[in-house]
Chain A
Amino acid sequence: MAAAKQDAAKQGGAAQRGGPQPARRRRPGKNASARLVFGVLALPLVGVLFPTCLVLGAGMVPTALAFLFDRGREKYLVLSVAMLNFCGILPAVAELWARGQSISSAAATLADPLAWVIAYGAAALGWLLHMGMPPIVSVYYEQLTKTRIRQLAQQQKTLVEIWGEDVKLEAKSEAAAAERPKDKSSRSEASSPQLDKASVLGL
């Protein structure tokens, strides 16, 4: 019974983690200063590595598009597309660096259709993964739900076998409370007993 308890506690915790998480509060002051620092550091790099930035900029247009399309807070689409998009543009960047950091090399690299195909193809793969994952995850979650409900039901059955039907009392009262509409006026009518004046007045 103790092992079942611990097991249930673990599983209960996992289910709890699957529930909604509290929102993190952002600190606007801290974000602005981070951007400022990034900007100060990034500008010189852009200046020095302008050809590379050109190639990266052109090759990672799908990522920018993903950023526009992705309304979610976590930006999963952006991340997925960005990582693959970056991997796709890397060979072109490597080729640019092999040719040397110049505008002409950058133009030559960008003129290579294979570079576009690889970069945009990788980004497309990321996009496809993002679009194709929900049905798979949905099926997985459904199975997980069924399995978990079975486990919990078995745990409850074990608890009833050990402790009797009365072990359900707390759960029943919670369920009843959850179903009851929250109406303050009905509480004063239904739950307060008839006033015992003699008792109140100490007679």
Chain B
Amino acid sequence: MSSMVSVGQRFQVDPGARLAQLDSPGCEAYAAEGSEPGGAPLFALVCGPELPPRLDYFTSLARIEKLPLLAPLAWTVAAWPTLGKERYILVFEQPGGARVLPAPDAKIKPLREEDIFRKVVRPLFPVLEDLSVRSIPHRAIRADNLFYGGDANAGAVLGECFSAPAGYHQPLIYETLENAMASRAGRAMGELSDDLYALGVLLAVLLAGGNPCAGMTDEQIIAAKIEKGSYATLIGNSRTSLAMMEPLRGLLCDDPDSRWRIADLQLWLDGRKLTPQQAPLPTKTARAFEFAGRPYQDLRSLAFAMSRNWAEATKVIKGQELAKWVKRSLPDKELAGELYNRLAAVQIASQRSSNHEILANVLIAFDPPAPIRFPDFASVPEALGQALAIDFRKPNTVEIFTSIITARLPNFWLEAQAHTRSEFVQLKKTLEMAAFNLQRTGWGFGAERCVYEYNQGWPCRSPLFDSFIVADIDRLLPALERIAAAGPPEAEPVDRHIAAFCAARLKRIPERALTALGGAQESSEHRIGMLRLLATVQHLTASPPLPALARWFVRLLSPVVESFHSRPYRQDLALQIQNAAEKGDLTLLLTLVDNIADKQTDEQDYAQARTLYAKGAREIRWLEAGGLTNARQVARGSGQATVLLSAVLAGTTLVILTLLYVSTM
């Protein structure tokens, strides 16, 4: 039996006991057991490396009990034995039955309306109500994430929603139009209204016994939803009772303001008759506009088609036909005038903006609620940071994100919305900070800073941490210490991701710690900057000693020691550095290698030594050339000596003569 993996004090996961039927997308399920005997059967999800779980809701959901929802009992980050790498591990209670729909594209026997009402909607209502009170959107309501209860009469249990970002794994049909048009990474975190819409789709799927849009591509589904509405697309000509038609129309309403709220669902469950409002379909224009060989008679459909055919759309907006069509065909003349002016300004705009930015701008004007769109990229504004984080390693993601922010497309999107929401204020501040961070390209800023600034809990994506999950600042230094202890790589211990992660997670980091990273890469100055940054982190997080990491720096900073000219000082400094490294105190190490005063003194002393050496060499040359032994020098010296000797003799003689003269008187 493989060694068990502990999750907290209470749970153990068996890496050898696979439970594939309980897998979530991107995660593998394994059997787990609790410390209390006789408890309910448990399972654990081992999350994939790319998407961190939604742990921000873990504490809120810890107390959710006796509701038919798979809520995590515990979580941890631990090394998974079969991989040798760290993974998020979430522990849940096993549902009583199998999945209602084995797979998203599976077919089952359609459920009876009675069963849907009794076993699905009524049991799930308290879950939605509870989540609404906690302001936690589920965003994973779908038929293949629904489980039967333990017995035939038990209600369904809603599956987990924590192992991936909100809505990431939802099939397109379960998403509202706005989220459906966004890429998976660019979907909004959402709110209860999105969950209610998904519930409506769930009901449609259960009634149909599978995906009612099977065989349609994603583009066709979205186009149909735009043209006919979600209800018509999903239900179409299916036979539904009037009783079921009510919640379906209410929940599948494409207008979020008119969509059923939790109270409406409550009333329906209580037997009240409601008349759900139908969302108006997009206004048809007087004449169709032909784009890429197909006619379009509303702005929303045209905008969607243009977003899928960027090359053709770029040509169209630069031409005159579209502007003329807008002016002549739109029933809303004020809107027509606005759009006409915008299209007329395209020629001027193309001198200072790229084609992508111009077209993205036009698409926002044509369809304000839709996400911001670029080639192969679409995101609602509030999910831009998430999209950047998830798709960071995909080609062009950073460039697209930078273009969107610097072209102020999100700001234009906010201004284009028909209704202002309170969240827009915070979103504007977030966008301003993103623009500020992108303007600065130094380490600690740039796109990497945006990833960690706008995705709290996102683990650091440094390549150094391939085997580790470093999601909060307290885990950074221990991870680096373990990497160093295992035999430090040739790489440096800090890269752009680590610098940005530190700057985003530790607000108290002084600016100096980041500007110190400004030197040329692999230079001593740059490496001292890295040491300063990590020393600051060690100090601010009260981290324990890091001897292995310190030794890593000692190896990288050996050129600093070698840069001192004085050999005795080098030896002394090397010894002090070794001692500091053994203590694992990065700040102490920093004071030794970044001692400007000592460096200046060394340079001055070295200059003096060179001068002294040169002076000595000059004197040797002079001496060897006979400077002291040449005839003139000897003559002068001997003359001086003779005079001196003569003076001594004369003086002595004078003294003797004087004494003799005095004695004879």
A contacts, CB < 8 Å to B? 1, 5, 8-9, 12, 15-16, 18-19, 72, 74, 76-77, 79-81, 83-84, 86-87, 90-91, 94, 122, 125-126, 129-130, 133-134, 136-138, 140-142, 144-145, 148-149, 152-153, 155-156, 159-164, 166-171, 174-175, 178
Contact of B617 among A76, A122, A144, A171 (CB under 8 A): A171
Cα separation A126 to B617 with both chains bound (whole Å): 40
For chain B, residues 612 to 645, give those with C-beta under 8 angstroms from any C-beta of chain A: 612-624, 627-629, 633-643, 645
Decide yes or no whether B647 CB sits under 8 A from chain A.
yes
B616 lies within 8 A of A174 (CB): no
7 additional contacts, CB 8 Å, given A84-B650, A148-B619?
A: A72-B635, A81-B646, A90-B653, A129-B642, A164-B567, A167-B565, A171-B617
Decide yes or no whether B103 CB sits under 8 A from chain A.
no
Also in contact, A87 and B641, with CB within 8 A (given A152-B616, A152-B619): no
A137 lies within 8 A of B637 (CB): yes
Q: Which of A159, A163, A164 has the most CB of B within 10 A?
A: A163
A94 lies within 8 A of B629 (CB): no
B637 lies within 8 A of A171 (CB): no
A79 lies within 8 A of B646 (CB): yes
For chain B, residues 269 to 295, give those with C-beta under 8 angstroms from any C-beta of chain A: none
B595 to chain A, nearest CB (A): 19
A79 to chain B, nearest CB (A): 5
Chain B residues within an 8 Å CB radius of A178: 621
B640 lies within 8 A of A83 (CB): no
Also in contact, A83 and B646, with CB within 8 A (given A149-B620, A153-B620): yes
Cα separation A152 to B654 with both chains bound (whole Å): 44
Contact of A86 among B567, B568, B613, B650 (CB under 8 A): B650
Chain A residues within an 8 Å CB radius of B622: 15, 19
B606 lies within 8 A of A167 (CB): yes
Which B-chain residue is minimally distant from A82 (CB atoms)? B646
B629 lies within 8 A of A79 (CB): no
A133 lies within 8 A of B609 (CB): no
B583 to chain A, nearest CB (A): 29
Decide yes or no whether B649 CB sits under 8 A from chain A.
yes
B442 to chain A, nearest CB (A): 30
Also in contact, A163 and B566, with CB within 8 A (given A5-B608, A145-B623, A149-B624): yes
Contact of A170 among B610, B619, B643, B661 (CB under 8 A): B610
Also in contact, A76 and B649, with CB within 8 A (given A5-B608, A12-B616, A170-B613): no
Q: Which of A77, A141, A156 has the most CB of B within 10 A?
A: A141
Chain B residues within an 8 Å CB radius of A1: 605, 609
Contact of A72 among B621, B639, B649, B650 (CB under 8 A): B639
A21 to chain B, nearest CB (A): 9
A138 lies within 8 A of B565 (CB): no
* 13 cross-chain CB contacts under 8 A: A76-B643, A80-B645, A83-B646, A83-B649, A94-B661, A134-B634, A134-B638, A137-B638, A141-B633, A144-B628, A162-B567, A171-B618, A174-B618
A87 lies within 8 A of B650 (CB): yes
B654 lies within 8 A of A87 (CB): yes
Q: Lowest 4 CB-CB distances: which A-B pairs, in order?
A: A76-B639, A133-B638, A83-B650, A171-B617
Chain A residues within an 8 Å CB radius of B657: 87, 90-91, 94
A94 to chain B, nearest CB (A): 7
Also in contact, A134 and B635, with CB within 8 A (given A162-B568, A171-B613): yes
Chain A residues within an 8 Å CB radius of B653: 84, 87, 90, 122
Cα separation A155 to B606 with both chains bound (whole Å): 15
Q: Is the interface of B mostly helix, strand, loop or mixed?
A: helix
Which A-chain residue is minimally distant from B647 (CB atoms)? A83
Which A-chain residue is minimally distant from B640 (CB atoms)? A76
Cα separation A201 to B627 with both chains bound (whole Å): 52
Number of A-B contacts (CB under 8 A): 163
Also in contact, A74 and B646, with CB within 8 A (given A5-B608, A170-B610, A174-B617): no
Decide yes or no whether B135 CB sits under 8 A from chain A.
no
Chain B residues within an 8 Å CB radius of A160: 613
B537 to chain A, nearest CB (A): 37
A79 lies within 8 A of B627 (CB): no
Cα separation A170 to B612 with both chains bound (whole Å): 10
Decide yes or no whether B238 CB sits under 8 A from chain A.
no
For chain B, residues 532 to 583, give those with C-beta under 8 angstroms from any C-beta of chain A: 565-568
B646 lies within 8 A of A80 (CB): yes
Decide yes or no whether B258 CB sits under 8 A from chain A.
no
Chain A residues within an 8 Å CB radius of B635: 72, 134
Cα separation A165 to B455 with both chains bound (whole Å): 55
B620 lies within 8 A of A170 (CB): no
Chain B residues within an 8 Å CB radius of A155: 612, 616
Chain A residues within an 8 Å CB radius of B320: none
Chain B residues within an 8 Å CB radius of A133: 638-639, 641-642, 645
Chain A residues within an 8 Å CB radius of B650: 83-84, 86-87
Chain A residues within an 8 Å CB radius of B623: 15, 145, 148-149, 152
Q: Which of B565, B620, B642 has the most CB of A within 10 A?
A: B642
Decide yes or no whether B611 CB sits under 8 A from chain A.
yes
Which B-chain residue is minimally distant from A133 (CB atoms)? B638
Cα separation A8 to B612 with both chains bound (whole Å): 8
Chain A residues within an 8 Å CB radius of B566: 162-163
A164 lies within 8 A of B565 (CB): yes
Cα separation A94 to B659 with both chains bound (whole Å): 13
B590 to chain A, nearest CB (A): 26
Cα separation A171 to B620 with both chains bound (whole Å): 11
Which B-chain residue is minimally distant from A154 (CB atoms)? B616
Chain B residues within an 8 Å CB radius of A140: 637
Contact of B613 among A72, A90, A130, A159 (CB under 8 A): A159
Cα separation A171 to B568 with both chains bound (whole Å): 22
B615 to chain A, nearest CB (A): 5
Chain B residues within an 8 Å CB radius of A164: 565, 567
Cα separation A87 to B638 with both chains bound (whole Å): 21
Q: Which of B606, B622, B629, B633 has the most CB of A within 10 A?
A: B629
Chain B residues within an 8 Å CB radius of A74: 636, 639-640
B616 lies within 8 A of A80 (CB): no
A99 to chain B, nearest CB (A): 15
B15 to chain A, nearest CB (A): 58
A130 lies within 8 A of B627 (CB): no
Chain A residues within an 8 Å CB radius of B640: 74, 76
B619 lies within 8 A of A12 (CB): yes
A163 lies within 8 A of B567 (CB): yes
Q: Which of A137, A140, A174 has the most CB of B within 10 A?
A: A137
Contact of B643 among A12, A80, A141, A171 (CB under 8 A): A80
B612 to chain A, nearest CB (A): 6
Contact of A145 among B629, B636, B637, B642 (CB under 8 A): B629
Also in contact, A174 and B614, with CB within 8 A (given A83-B646, A83-B647, A145-B623): yes
Which A-chain residue is minimally distant from B646 (CB atoms)? A80
Also in contact, A166 and B613, with CB within 8 A (given A15-B623, A76-B643): no
Cα separation A86 to B244 with both chains bound (whole Å): 148
A85 to chain B, nearest CB (A): 9
Contact of A90 among B615, B618, B636, B654 (CB under 8 A): B654
Cα separation A111 to B386 with both chains bound (whole Å): 129
Chain B residues within an 8 Å CB radius of A174: 614, 617-618
Chain B residues within an 8 Å CB radius of A91: 657
Which B-chain residue is minimally distant from A163 (CB atoms)? B609
Cα separation A134 to B623 with both chains bound (whole Å): 18
A19 to chain B, nearest CB (A): 6
Contact of B639 among A86, A130, A162 (CB under 8 A): A130
Cα separation A17 to B609 with both chains bound (whole Å): 22
